[in-house]
Amino acid sequence: MPKGLNVHTEIGPLKKVMLHRPGLDMVYFGDEDFDRVWFHDALYLERAQEEHDRFAELLRQEGAEVLYLEDLLKEALDADPDARGEFTNTYLAESRLPGKEYAAAAREFLDSIEDTGEFVKRVFRGIRRKEVELPHRSAHTLAELDATKDDPDSLIDPLPSSYFTRDAFAVVGNGVNMSHMYHYNRNRETLLGETIFTHHPEYRGVPLWYDRKSSFHTEGGDVLNFGRHTLAVGLSQRTEAAAIDQMAQNMFWGDEECEIEEILAFKIPASYAFMHLDTVFTQVDVDKFTVHPNILGTLKVYRLTPGATKGEVRIAEIDDTLEHILEKALGIDSVQLIECGGGDPVLAAREQWNDGSNTLCVKPGVVCVYERNVVTNDLLCKNGMKLLVVPSAELSRGRGGPRCMSMPFWREEI
Ligand SMILES: NC(=[NH2+])NCCC[C@H](N)C(=O)O
């Protein structure tokens, strides 16, 4: 397998994919911390791991090599003597430590971990206050005294959403759209990706189409590869319009050669249930998509293309049906939309809540789905899809499905 990245579609045979197996990142927070760590349930970890292992196994059986985020980060940090120091500086700067003394204590703790693998596990897991030597009492800060929202036991919060490897960056063509996350606790996940694409021997130096330091937020769940030249991006709770403008500038007019010539911005309602474009809409075959019927009425689509002079981007609203827009974008005669929950509004809402429309296609017509979405799955079968069924009692509670839990690094062309 050649080095680097290659993803031009949502459905080309999957050859390499990055996952993160939930671990201790999932343990050290309670219900009062849900909003702060940005994970809204308490999982039964061992069961979640079994489910995740089954997911990985299904992908391997279909011929995909499974890479783990943890291993890639470790390899990146080991590849360059300066990498770990640089990484620690940014990680601490973004961990919302209340005061210099706490930062110093956390740094001492992290620096004392010799083994890079153990260090990486810590990065995901965070640090409890009682684990470090804290400064004397005069180091108390107003933030601590007024700690109405903060967990007094946590020094560095864990990264429980990191098993949604879809979000912190998105592979587009041979490059990467880094994300700037909607919620600050998830933004450190993008640092893991940036470290891989800066230092990892197989992935360093790939072109970056978006900067994690940009002021506008965007997440990988909103980015769908429709073809070598066409990208779909959700304009959603998680991706701002100005972020899509910057992507267009970078892809059409940036210094790095990018093959994207058209960006379709799909505006979906800004809500938690619909957070990304891939929660309402994923491609399952050359001419089939699964969609959440509730978005069909409200969907607005804009087309961004390069203008005639350097730096110019043309923008037009497309006034057409979703089917026609997709047919044109994919260059095919007809597209079929398979409705989540069979179109019944209540069943659609329930199955959508558990990611019934969030499928991962491993080759045309073969898709990974959550076991629990029985109505949608039945419909996909009736429409000729082969289903790879992932047990989902625990994993689904993080509010993301098979697509959210995976980041393709290499897909064959179709
Ligand atoms: N690509 C996705 N739909 N990811 C789901 C992410 C869910 C996660 N709890 C969050 O709110 O950020």
Can you tell me whether residue 28 is helix, strand or coil? coil
Alpha carbon distance 100, 104 (integer Å) = 6
Check 258, 361, 368, 404 and give the catalytic one: 404
Name the residue with the closest Cα to ligand 1, atom 12.
161
Cα–Cα distance for residue pair 223/8, rounded to 1 Å: 12
User: Relative to the CA of 222, which ligand 1 atom is closest?
Assistant: 1
Contact 77, 116 (CB under 8 A): yes
Residue 56 phi/psi, 5-degree rounding, is -60, -40
Backbone phi, then psi, for 229, in 5-degree steps? -115, -5
Q: Does the Cβ of 199 fall within 6 Å of ligand 1? A: no
190 lines ligand 1 (CB under 6 A): no
Contact 243, 316 (CB under 8 A): no
- Angle at alpha carbon of residue 390, lines to 388 and 395, rounded to 5°: 150
pLDDT at 110: 98
Largest CA distance in the chain: 71
Ligand 1 pocket test, pick from 29, 38, 399, 405 with the greatest ligand atom count within 8 Å of Cβ, gives 399
Written as one letter, the residue type at 272 is Y
Q: Which atom of ligand 1 is nearest to the CA of 398?
A: 9
CB 409 within 8 A of CB 17: yes
Residue nearest ligand 1's atom 6 by CA = 400
Burial (CB < 10 A; 0-12, 13-18, 19+), residue 130, is exposed
Residue 315 and residue 245: Cα distance in Å, rounded?
10
Written as one string, the DSSP assignment of 123-178 is HHH-EEGGGS-PPPGGG--HHHHT-SSS-TTEEE---GGGG-TTSSEEEEBTEEEE
Is 193's C-beta closer than 6 angstroms to any atom of ligand 1?
Answer: no
Ligand 1 midpoint to CA 249 (Å) = 26
Tokens read off for 361: 């296609």
Task: Tell me, in angstroms, the distance from the centre of ligand 1 to residue 56's CA.
Answer: 19
pTM value is 0.96
Ligand 1 close to Cβ of residue 217 (< 6 A): no
Atom in ligand 1 nearest the alpha carbon of residue 276: 3
C-beta 278 within 6 A of ligand 1: yes
**How far, in Å, is the centroid of ligand 1 from the Cα of 130?**
30
Nearest ligand 1 atom, CA 355: 3
One-letter amino acid at 238 equals: R
b (16+ CB within 10 A) / e for 160-191 = bbbbbbbbbbbbbbbbbbbbbbbeebbbbbbb
Query: Ligand 1 pocket, 400 CB below 6 A?
Result: yes
Residue 404 three-state SS: coil
Ligand 1 closest atom vs CA 279: 3
Positive or negative, the CA dihedral 143, 144, 146, 148 is: positive
H or E stretch at 227: none
Q: State the distance from the centre of ligand 1 to the C-alpha of 164, rounded, in angstroms.
A: 6
CA dist 137 and 51 (Å) reads 45
Question: Which residues are paired to 172 by β-bridges?
Answer: 175
- 324 CA → ligand 1 middle, Å: 29
Q: How far is the CA of 255 from the centre of ligand 1 (A)?
A: 31
Measured in Å, residue 174 CA sits from the centre of ligand 1 at 24
Give the Å distances, CA to CA, from 278 to 91, 153, 289, 355: 28, 35, 11, 9
265 lines ligand 1 (CB under 6 A): no
- Ligand 1 near 279 CB (within 6 A): yes
398 lines ligand 1 (CB under 6 A): yes
**Structure tokens given for 291:** 């969609």
Instruction: Give the residue carrying structure tokens 């304009």.
Output: 235
DSSP 3-state helix, strand, coil percentages of the chain (rounded to 5)?
40, 20, 40
Least Cα distance to 262 among 299, 239, 232, 242 occurs for 232
- Is 404 tagged catalytic? yes
Assigned token pair, 279: 């929660």
Torsion angle defined by CA atoms of residues 204, 14, 264 and 353, in that order, rounded to the nearest 10 degrees = -110
Cα–Cα distance measured from residue 289 to residue 373, given in angstroms and rounded to the nearest whole number: 16
From the CA of 399, give the closest atom in ligand 1. 7
pLDDT in tens, the chain (414 residues): 778 999 999 999 999 999 999 999 999 999 999 999 999 999 999 999 999 999 999 999 999 999 999 999 999 999 999 999 999 999 999 999 988 888 999 999 999 999 999 999 999 999 998 899 876 655 467 776 766 545 668 999 999 999 999 999 999 999 999 999 999 999 999 999 999 999 999 999 999 999 999 999 999 999 999 999 999 999 999 999 999 999 999 999 999 999 999 999 999 999 888 899 999 999 999 999 999 988 888 789 999 999 999 999 999 999 999 999 999 999 999 999 999 999 899 999 999 999 999 999 999 999 999 999 999 999 999 999 999 999 999 999 999 999 999 999 999 999
By three-state DSSP, how is residue 110 classified? Answer: helix
* CA angle 41–347–403, rounded 5-degree value: 55
Give distance in angstroms: CA of 322 to centre of ligand 1: 24
**CATH assignment of 161-411, among 3.75.10.10, 3.40.470.10, 3.30.70.1340, 3.40.50.2000:** 3.75.10.10
Structural domain spans, the chain: 161-411
Residue at 123: amino acid letter: V
> Measuring from atom 5 of ligand 1, which residue has the nearest CA?
400
